[in-house]
Amino acid sequence: MRTLNNRWRGIDRTTDVLSFPMLDNNELAAAKTSRIPVILGDIVISAPKAERQARQIGHSLEREMTFLVVHGLLHLFGYDHETGKDDEARMIARQRELMEALDAC
């Protein structure tokens, strides 16, 4: 994960989840209104980091992995918590909503 994070984001440290979108913003907007299935991209999760985080937070690995999939998927849908406080708040709210819908809180 450290190698991927450094190569694709220029951040030389490990991370828990990375998303690699296959669509640019225009393609994503078109895909949202289309009934044609599309591949959004790839999500890579560090299982060792997820295990550590689950232990530190005090919840199950299943819950942590679910959260990381939701987080990565939101990135593929164009959400970005690093572009400003409003965007971060919007992403966090959507994460919470999806985790509740999945009964994974």
The closest of 63, 34, 40 to 50, measured between CA atoms, is 63
Task: Specify the pTM.
Answer: 0.87
Summarised one tens digit per residue, pLDDT across range 58-105 is 999 999 999 999 999 999 998 988 777 888 999 999 999 999 999 865
Query: Are the C-beta atoms of 82 and 39 separated by less than 8 Å?
Result: no
pLDDT of residue 91: 93
pLDDT of residue 104: 66
CATH superfamily of the domain spanning 2-101: Metalloproteases ("zincins"), catalytic domain (3.40.390.30)
Predicted confidence band of residue 12 (pLDDT cuts 50, 70, 90): very high
pLDDT of residue 105: 59
Delimit the domains of the chain by residue range.
2-101
DSSP-H helix ranges across 1-105: 2-9, 25-33, 47-57, 61-76, 85-101
